[in-house]
Amino acid sequence: MNCWGVKMSKKYYYDCPIKAAYMNHEFGVITYVELSIKSEIYEYFIKDWNHRELKLDPKEKHYRDKYYVAKESEHIFEPKERDKDENGLFFDGRHWTYGVSYAISSEQSKTSFRFGKQFFMPEVEND
């Protein structure tokens, strides 16, 4: 909530089509772009990442250059057991730790690897 008591929502997005396509292919992340046509904003869900999807031109007036994560895919970014972050910490299911001995932090860390594969966390946009 902001200082006026209004609940703010956040959107996850990628600004790189390669990362968005990779996350779709490897982890099933559903993404969409927002198209602005005649003052109306439409969501165009990307169902199949192909050559055309990678060439959407951000210079065109109707296209916004962010690949938003669909609400039904947001759960993918919650930490999972055995995730590894950019600092070499592992998630044990409850905490981020260096290994077996002790917990470092229970706060969200940016996952870099999941199941041995590169994992790209999205950027966050607050509405």
Reply yes or no on whether the pLDDT at 41 is more than 80.
Answer: no
Q: Which residue has the higher pLDDT, 53 or 75?
A: 75
Indicate whether this model's pTM tops 0.85.
no
Strand residues in 15-116 grouped as ranges (E)? 31-37, 40-46, 67-69, 84-85, 90-91, 96-97, 103-105, 111-114
Question: Which of helix, strand or coil describes residue 52?
Answer: helix
Reply yes or no on whether the pLDDT at 102 is more than 50.
Answer: yes
The Cα–Cα gap between 122 and 12 comes to: 6
Q: Which residues pair with 126 in a beta bridge?
A: 10
Q: Which residue has the higher pLDDT, 7 or 45?
A: 45
pLDDT per residue over 49-71, tens digit each? 765 555 555 555 555 678 999 99
- Domain extents for the chain? 8-75, 78-115
Q: Residue 1 has what pLDDT?
A: 46
The Cα–Cα gap between 105 and 45 comes to: 36
